[in-house]
Amino acid sequence: MCIEQYLVPASVAECLFLLNRFEGQAMLIAGGTDLMPKLAQKKIAPTALIDVTRIEDFCGLTETDTGLMIGAGATHAQVAQDETLAQTWPALTRACASIGSPQIRNVATLTGNIVTAMPGADAAVALVVLDAKVEIASPDGKRSAAVEDLYAGVGQSKIRSSHEIITAIKVPRPRMKHGNAYGRISPRNSFCFPIVNAAAALTCENNKIISARLALGPVADRPFRPQKAEAVLKGAAPDDLKAIDAAAILASQEANPRSSCLRGCADYRRELLKVLVKQVVRDASARLAR
C-alpha cells in the first residue's frame, strides 16, 4: 500500500478539484469497508484517498413529498434505525439492517454498497427494487442515473470513483397503494453474506397489481430483475396465491445462481429462491392491505 496523501474535503466542489488534481490516481473513500481490503490485497493502488464523509450535508436522510433523499455519506445504521422510513420503505431499512455487523453498519455507506457493484449487496438489491436513482457530480456537471443502470459486471461499476462523486441517492415516494419487502437467507443472522436475497415492490389499484418489481441477488452479474416473474404478478390480485407461486417458480428459473463452496450448489440456491421470492411477495402484498 503506498498512499501518499489522505485528504478530507469539506465540499463537493473541493472534492472534484482534488480528483482532478490527482488525474485519476486518487480514489474516494467513505466507510472503507470495501476499499481497505482491496488496498490491502493490492487490487487497487491509488496514490491518494479522498474521504467524503466530512462533506457538508452529506450524511442526512431527508423525506420530501416526492421521496427520500439519502446523503451519499449516510450509513446503513442510520437507515436501519430510522423507524419513520421503515413505514414507507421497509425493504430498504431491512436490507440495511442485515448488512455485516453493527461495527460495519456504523461506518459503511449505501453509496459504497452501490459502487462496489457486488450482485448480492443487500442495500443495492433493495434500492434497485425501489427504483432509486443516484445524483452524480463530475467535472462535466451534474447528472442522475438509475441504480439499476450502474452495473458493468461483477464488481464493476460505471461510476468512476477516481473522477466523479455520487452526492445523493433518491428513492421515489410511492404514489398509490404500495407495499415493499426484503428478505435474505444466510447461514447466520450476522456477519455473513447472503446465500440468496430478494426484494419485492408492488403497486396496486382497484385490487389489481399494476406494477411489480422484483430484485434478486447474488444470482447474476448484478442485482437481477426476473422480468417473466414480474409480468405474471402484473394484473393479478395481490392475494392471488397461485400467481405468487408461479412468480416464485419463474424467478428461480430466470435466475442463474452459481454453485459455490460459500453459498451451496446452484440447485439448492434455486430451491431457496422459490421460498424467498414467495415470502417477499407475500410480505409486500400484506403491506398493501394496511
Interface with ligand FAD by CB under 6 A: which residues?
Answer: 27-35, 52, 72, 99-100, 104, 108-109, 111-113, 115-116, 121-122, 159, 161, 165-166, 193
- Looking at the Cβ atoms of 163 and 287, the one nearer to ligand FAD is 163
Q: What burial class does residue 31 get, using C-beta atoms within 10 Å of its C-beta: 0-12 exposed, 13-18 middle, 19+ buried? A: buried
Q: DSSP assignment of 157-225, as one string?
A: ESS-TTT-EEEEEEEEPP-SEEEEEEEEE-SSSSS---SEEEEEEEEEETTEEEEEEEEEESSSSSSB-
187 versus 235: smaller Cβ distance to ligand FAD: 187
Considering the complex, state which of residue 109 and residue 203 has its C-beta at the smaller distance from ligand FAD: 109
Q: Find the shortest distance in angstroms from Cβ 169 to ligand FAD.
A: 10
Residue with smaller CB distance to ligand FAD, 14 or 245: 14
- Of 113 and 203, CB closest to ligand FAD: 113
Residue whose CB is less far from ligand FAD, 115 or 204? 115
Reading phi first (left if > 0) and then psi (alpha if -120 to 50, else beta), residue 132 is in beta
Please report how close the Cβ of residue 148 comes to ligand FAD at its closest, in angstroms: 16
Closest CB 13 distance from ligand FAD, rounded Å: 14
| Cβ-based nearer residue to ligand FAD, 55 or 288 | 55
Smallest separation, CB 271 to ligand FAD (Å)? 22
Inter-residue contact 207 to 237 (CB < 8 Å)? yes
Least separation, in Å, of the C-beta of 257 and ligand FAD? 17
C-beta contacts of 277-280 below 8 A and 24+ residues apart: 277/198, 277/200, 277/214, 277/216, 277/226, 277/229, 277/247, 277/248, 277/251, 277/252, 278/244, 278/245, 278/248, 279/181, 279/183, 279/198, 280/91, 280/181, 280/182, 280/183, 280/198, 280/199, 280/200, 280/214
CB of 190 to ligand FAD, least distance (A): 9
d(CA 214, CA 224): 8
Between 161 and 180, whose beta carbon lies closer to ligand FAD? Answer: 161
| Nearest distance, CB of residue 72 and ligand FAD, angstroms | 4
Tell me how far, at minimum, the Cβ of 52 lies from ligand FAD, in Å.
5
Q: Quick one: CA dihedral 193, 83, 135, 19, positive or negative?
A: negative
Whose CB is nearest to ligand FAD? Answer: 112
Give the three-state DSSP class for 144. strand
Q: 451451496: which residue's cell?
A: 264
State the cell numbers at 51.
474521504
